[in-house]
Amino acid sequence: MDRENIDLSFHSYIRGIILLGFSLLLLAFIISGNIRYYIAPKMMPFMYFALVVFIILGVVQIIRSTRKNDQDIDCDCGEDHSMTGSPVIKIAIYSIFVAPIVMGFVLPDKVLDSSVAANRGIQYGSGILTKPTDPNETASSTARAEAFLENPDEYFSSLGETDEHYSVEDFYTEEGFNQYYLELAEELESQQRIIVTDDNYLDIMTVLDLHMDQFLGRELVITGFVYREEEFEDNQLVVARFAMTCCVADAAVYGTLVESDLATEYENDTWVHVSGTLDKTEYNGYPIPLIHLREITVIDEPEQPYVFPSFR
């Protein structure tokens, strides 16, 4: 076997090992259950498919590297299929693929927490009546001031296009869509205690936004991690959850404001089980649900820390 074919065999073997490395990493995530930190449950079939494909491609590459027949490796097309470049460049290229595998096995898996929430901003309730809090509000305010100084007339004309409040009617005009939340509201009205679970979290938050006045004074039970905005009073905290549609890249933070004299006793990222009386208040000019605390219990991080849309 000439030098070119030896080179091709070696690189086929390395590529096969890398593909099998990704397979083992994905398998480790699945077996340990830590894959729940990165993707929504509905994406699991794609993960199983990817695992099988990586294994097959890895095995094929390794088999190719063991072939002894020159013709099996050289396609006789007249082109040079060997990997060009110096050894340093080749090592650098393979390192790009090897590094994620090594880091995936070495680095600890961690659930999204309040530090991520602070960077992304938090939506109160279901988010349909509000907009996410902006961690860069100061910078955006400065930009608006500069726009006003440059051209006041154009600035004022643009306000109507950019600063309108959200309207529930703009989002919930489909008859079938409305009907689902009307039926859920009727079901919740018959209950003295509204219990928010992982399965119904976003649905109940949406109902409370749409029909908040119907549930004032009811007891609300909810679980989440403690989070605070910088401008909060000492008696305020948020019970928050990350909601994920497909993967961690699209995760958004949803929270419910809680007021209590005990708020200062609980640090950010502490998981708590909260019950209290439902009320409403305003935050940044938007109406949001508010819980007057009755009872709070520190709990362990749940097996599934994220919530997901029900798509019903």
Between these two residues, 125 and 196, which has the higher pLDDT value? 196
pLDDT over threshold 60, residue 220: yes
Q: How many other C-beta atoms lie within 10 A of the C-beta of residue 21? A: 19
Lowest mean pLDDT among 146-150, 179-183, 211-215, 225-229: 146-150
CB 184 within 8 A of CB 207: yes
3-class secondary-structure state, position 120:
helix
pLDDT over threshold 70, residue 260: yes
Lowest mean pLDDT among 13-22, 94-103, 113-122, 126-135: 126-135
188-193: average pLDDT:
87
The reported pLDDT for the residue numbered 258 is: 95
pLDDT over threshold 70, residue 131: no
> To the nearest whole number, what is the mean pLDDT of the chain?
82
% of the chain beyond a pLDDT of 90: 45
Across 24-136, the runs of DSSP E, i.e. the strands, are: 122-124
Over residues 9-32, the pLDDT tens digits come to 888 899 999 999 999 999 999 999
Over residues 263-297, the pLDDT tens digits come to 999 999 999 999 999 999 988 888 889 999 999 99
81-90: average pLDDT:
73
**What's the rounded Cα separation, in Å, for the pair 154 and 179?**
42
CB 209 within 8 A of CB 129: yes
Dig out the tokens for 296 from the structure.
Answer: 């709070």
The reported pLDDT for the residue numbered 271 is: 96
The reported pLDDT for the residue numbered 70 is: 45
Pairing of the two strands 286-298 and 219-227 = unpaired
pTM: 0.73
- Residue whose token pair is 């600035």: 155
Q: Exposed e or buried b for every residue in 178-198, given b needs 16+ CB within 10 A?
A: eebbeebbeebeeeeebebee
DSSP-derived secondary structure letter, 239? E
Dig out the tokens for 164 from the structure.
Answer: 């309108």
The reported pLDDT for the residue numbered 65 is: 84
Dig out the tokens for 133 from the structure.
Answer: 């809090």
**What's the rounded Cα separation, in Å, for the pair 87 and 178?**
63
pLDDT over threshold 50, residue 216: yes
163-181: average pLDDT:
55
Confidence at 111, pLDDT banded by 50, 70, 90: confident
Please report the DSSP string for 52-75 in residue order: HHHHHHHHHHHHHHT---HHHH--
Helices (H), 107-245: 114-120, 137-150, 152-162, 168-171, 175-189, 201-210
pLDDT over threshold 80, residue 156: no
pLDDT over threshold 60, residue 72: no
Q: Please report, in angstroms and rounded to a whole number, the separation of the first and last CA atoms in the chain.
A: 61
224-229: average pLDDT:
94
Confidence at 8, pLDDT banded by 50, 70, 90: confident
Crossing angle between the packed helical segments 201-210 and 175-189, to the nearest 10 degrees: 90
Q: Which residues pair with 289 in a beta bridge?
A: 280
Between these two residues, 220 and 152, which has the higher pLDDT value? 220
